[in-house]
Structure 1
Amino acid sequence: MLFIILKTRMYGIKGTLLALFCSILSVYSFCREASLHIQKDKTPLAAYLKPCVVTEPSSGLEGIDCIYVINLDKRPDKWERVSGIFREQGLKINRMSAINGWELAGETLRELSGPYPVRLKGGEYGCLLSHLSVLKDAHQRGFQRIWVCEDDIEILESIQHIPLLIRQLEKYDADWDVFYTDCRPRLIWKGQLIHTIPPHYTPRPDERCDHPADYLKTEEVFPDVIKIGYRTGTTSMIISRKGMEKLINYFTHIYVWSQIDLDMHFVPGIREYSSKKDLVSNLLESTSDVLNEVDESHLPQESKEAFWNRYQLTLCQYNLEKSEISLRSYLKLYQQFPDRAEPLYHLALFYRQSQNFLLGFLFSKLGKEIPLPKDSEKSEPWIYQWGLKLEYALCAYHLGKSEEFRKTAQQLLAIENLPKETRAHILELFSANFSSHSGPCPKQGSS
């Protein structure tokens, strides 16, 4: 008001009206520029959404109508694992047969991208279309609140925390749209568990955004929930009906520019929250089907002799130096020969002995699934038979992963050529933790 009075005194009524008109016009122009990328009519994206099959419309979790789990047809292993997790929790889930973006034709990707270049990986297009297919299905079925998961989740806290936090959130903000069940995606960096740092968002050429720092601001609305403006990851989200409507309306009226886990934060009026601690988050040892689609048949294959020579050289280097450089040599060797488990064994052994049990667990888990090479002369069979299983069992024991330890210990004790000292150690750990409530000890092979 003071501004208007001063303007009136300086320029008169006509000058003031002109100044106000220019100010309003500038704001209007900014708002129009900010939404230029949102089309009046639906874009081709809407035509590529996929129907969902819902066999369990009731989740079994208070306040959640339905649980959808997105899973590629080519990954039945991930579906078996995640369905077992929910079964143990007494919850009912529905499998959404994910859209494999790597199989989309180049012409389709160009159509989805419209005036923009094709910037994303195939899996990122598939991820976007799969999530939007779930939202469309849930909205059409009249669900008020759904839980959307990807197949690489890990439950870290009691599931019952989720209904409690949702009830508190409803009281604070009845118009909330999205609630993430973790703080941010997790990863291992330099041997430590950290949360990802959201990458810088590059807006579309015709998109105007606020200052990037504004989106990174968070606000603790009550002890266990924070209000957010930007993050990465769509591993596990609770979405309200209003949130479904906003996301569907936005993504079916834009051309694809960035990944869904980045672009969704720029939906007009979106209200997002997340748990302050990780309740359900990404499985650390999982590999991404969104980012990885490697046809190993096209990779150059080197001889077994080449591997064996480099392996022996790396062993000598490590025994002499025991440095990070020699550790990286093991990792590089595995990357060059992904069908060989010896480098992974030595990495797992090093990290277990360094009491970094999580990294030891991850490397041994990866290695123990690799089969023994047909030419055993240029290999160390014991590593494949029991060495990596031993590292996996010991790391699982120290991490408190009781079920993983139990199963692997039983496998180890059934191996006839397991060294006596190793057998005695595993039997001692197994007996101390399971004999009192798990019946007799597992059958042992002869020493």
Structure 2
Amino acid sequence: MTNLLWLRQDLRLHDQPALVAAAQAGAVIPVYILDDDAPGDWRIGGAQRWWLHHSLKALGDALAEKGSRLILRRGDAVAILTELMERTGAGAIHAIRHYEPWWRKAEAALGERLCLHDGNHLAPPERVTTGSGGQFRIYSAFWKGLQEHLPPERPVDAPRTIPAPDRWPESEMLADWHLLPTTPDWSGGFDWTPGEDEARHKVAALALDGYDERRNLPSEHGTSRLSPHLHFGEVSPRAVWHATDAHDVTFRKELAWRDFTDGVVLALPDYADRNGRPAFDRLPWRTGRDATADLKAWQQGRTGYPIVDAGMRQLWQSGWMHNRVRMIAASFVIKHLLIDWREGERWYWDCLVDADYGNNAVNWQWVAGTGIDANMFGRIMAPLSQSEKFDAAGYIRRWVPELAELPDAAIHDPDAAGCRPAAYPAKLIGHREARERALAAGRKVR
């Protein structure tokens, strides 16, 4: 019997339960469908498209080595899979379960033709539930509940060979999808190697000594940089888990956070568009010409706050931003500029190679204070002191060259030190003024 293997954010052969099941049942036709309509406003952004091009190329090469091939189609996923079943006589579609609302809708539409498998989580979100059977809405409680399902199963090896069908359906050409940017080619500085081989290499090379401290220092290479590989499913979470030790608790909690955020969007599918706390619908966000100009300055890394600007420029030039700086930059646009968190969320979505629907939404609402498990709105990160506390001088010098010659004592706040270069912008707003404005807006919510 021939089976379709529907690939989405699971672009790997190792620890691929849908592939294993399909291969055991007969010949396999691996299919990737670029469906830009199903996600609506959440179609993948520019940085993700760059990654997807290279990841699909790597996966196609890996499949060819095993006597298989990758079929590429563009359009409505449900319609294309239905048509492929009819043309090939496939008896079933095998896929790994996904939790984005548009994929859950597509899975439901395919009905009994679809055989779903778990493989992108430490434990399926449906199993990690509260005493009443609902999804956890507080991470600490989720982490405690997850312990009942740990350790995850051991990863399974990729099949040595993949049975091929007698006839292959036609495939589109990857180059014809034009996933790579053209003008402006802002991806020229992307220092990444997408694909399963690179993901597994990074996992094998994980060095987590001192991770608790080093992960917060932007000037050091203290993070795993696995996030885009995990997002695209080039490596499974359980493979990463089993590559770590029991004392790597902080790292494992961050890995589990991805499971938690999928549980949130399982319970609240529109969490990326709506405040988790409805009271914040009353918050008076700034709009109009001045707010638009401030948002653009933030996007371009020209706010006058060096650590914020370094982060935003790193984002634009590399498709990634250090996690500590992501929080600082997000807090700045929300609290200092009083701009709706959804504006920042959308910018990250387009610019991050690791942009993930659940993770992105939950993180933004956590920083904004609008979410179900979030900081208070009145908690306003101080970017200048954060920069000094986490020793960001080297990070700033790399990404904000106008400040490269300043000494450490001045680089975090050139205005206060009286040595701001003419080429570097003044602050959009003072920290104290911004804090008072944000607190006043927050009081209107209460």
TM-score normalised by the shorter chain: which range applies?
under 0.3
Larger RCO: 1 or 2 (CA < 8 Å, sep 6+): 2
Q: Could you tell me the TM-score, scaled by structure 2's length?
A: 0.24
Give the TM-score, by structure 1 length. Answer: 0.24
Bigger radius of gyration:
1
- Structure (1/2) with the larger strand percentage: 1
